Amino acid sequence: MKILITGSTGQLGIELLNQLERIKKKESLTIINPSKEDLDLTNSIKCEKYIEDINPDILINLAAFTAVDNAEIESESARQINALALRSFANVLKKNGGHIIQISTDYVFNGEENKPYQTFHKRNPLGVYGKTKSEGESFLEQILENTNQFTIIRTSWLVSPWRKNFVKTILKKLKEGKENESLKVVSDQIGCITTAKSLSNLIILIIERKIKNICLPSHLHWSSNGSASWYEIAVKIKEISNSINLFASRIDIKPIESFEYKSLCPRPKFSVLDTSLTTKTFGIKNDFWINDLEILLKEIKDINNSAKALN
């Protein structure tokens, strides 16, 4: 089975490539993970040609314009990468066959609900990033309608030991801040983290089902269990880091409201995803967010220790 992965240098891509190692041989997978230069999603014509030439059984699209504030300024690039590339992919897959797993986001919703978003909830994005990701979803739904050729996984607040994400930013600020300084974190946006590890495990379950030709729901949601504000997560990062001896920080973390945090992209106030369809479909359980956070921080500690040992 030929699997093409875009965005393999991103945080989810790095984790997925690591995880795929354990099933690659058993399932006889050929993994193709082109660089941005080899498969540039800003060029629709080249995207079509590349997919035509490779003709993958499964295309896992992890590439995206993910800088949500920059997307407000560079909206054309964001649309090209997050939406129009999906149209190209879907057109080729419709003609030649093959399945696409697309990673989407909680930002396709406007955040005005107060209960977890179900997969069929109407999309109503606030900013350019959410609008372009939403348009990408629509291309798959329209072009690949009734084909069982696509799986959209919406996820939220992705964290990992790799690249840039909220956990790494908070760790850096806690480490580098002076004792009498305080770290201000938004407390009126509620959501849930997702570890790249748990999301990669879900992608692998989908690959295993596809190898057996099993039909799956076209839309899935995935995150850790529970909900929290960015502020509550930051407080837990500090608490767990102290308790596992990752480092000790005396910096005070203070809650602020969204309007006090200057940003270009409007963020949903509430973006918890209902993951019950996914847990039911695959017979799995998602762990409580604090447990997933602790596992991640322990992994970051191990990675830091191995890097120190090598130096």
Ligand X SMILES: NC(=O)c1ccc[n+]([C@@H]2O[C@H](COP(=O)([O-])OP(=O)(O)OC[C@H]3O[C@@H](n4cnc5c(N)ncnc54)[C@H](OP(=O)(O)O)[C@@H]3O)[C@@H](O)[C@H]2O)c1
Which chain residues interact with ligand X by CB under 6 A? 6-7, 9-13, 36, 39-42, 62-66, 81, 103, 105, 133, 155-158, 163
The identity of residue 195, as a single letter, is T
d(Cα 299, Cα 187) in Å, to the nearest integer? 26
- Nearest CB to ligand X, comparing residues 19 and 242: 19
The closest residue (CB) to ligand X is 10
Q: Least distance in Å: CB of 51 to ligand X?
A: 13
- Nearest CB to ligand X, comparing residues 47 and 249: 47
Beta strands in 124-237 (DSSP E): 150-155, 158-159, 182-186, 190-191, 194-195, 219-222, 228-229
Q: Least distance in Å: CB of 179 to ligand X?
A: 30
Angle, CA 171 vertex, CA 165 and CA 176 arms, to 5°: 125
Q: Pick the closest to residue 303 from 160, 157, 158, 159 (CA basis).
A: 160
Q: Least distance in Å: CB of 112 to ligand X?
A: 19
- Nearest CB to ligand X, comparing residues 10 and 249: 10
- Nearest CB to ligand X, comparing residues 113 and 242: 113
d(Cα 151, Cα 154) in Å, to the nearest integer? 10
- Nearest CB to ligand X, comparing residues 88 and 249: 88
Contacts of 245 (CB under 8 A, 6+ apart): 301
- Nearest CB to ligand X, comparing residues 27 and 40: 40
Q: Least distance in Å: CB of 213 to ligand X?
A: 26
Q: Strand order of the sheet with strand 150-155? A: 30-32, 2-6, 58-61, 99-105, 150-155, 219-222
- Nearest CB to ligand X, comparing residues 16 and 249: 16
DSSP state of 122: P
DSSP state of 108: G
Q: Least distance in Å: CB of 10 to ligand X?
A: 2
- Nearest CB to ligand X, comparing residues 89 and 297: 89
Q: Least distance in Å: CB of 221 to ligand X?
A: 11
If one counts every other C-beta atom within 10 angstroms of the C-beta of residue 203, the result is 23
If one counts every other C-beta atom within 10 angstroms of the C-beta of residue 100, the result is 22
Q: Least distance in Å: CB of 178 to ligand X?
A: 28
Q: Pick the closest to residue 249 from 300, 304, 173 (CA basis).
A: 173
Q: Least distance in Å: CB of 42 to ligand X?
A: 5
Q: Percent helix, strand and coil across the chain, each rounded to 5?
A: 45, 15, 35
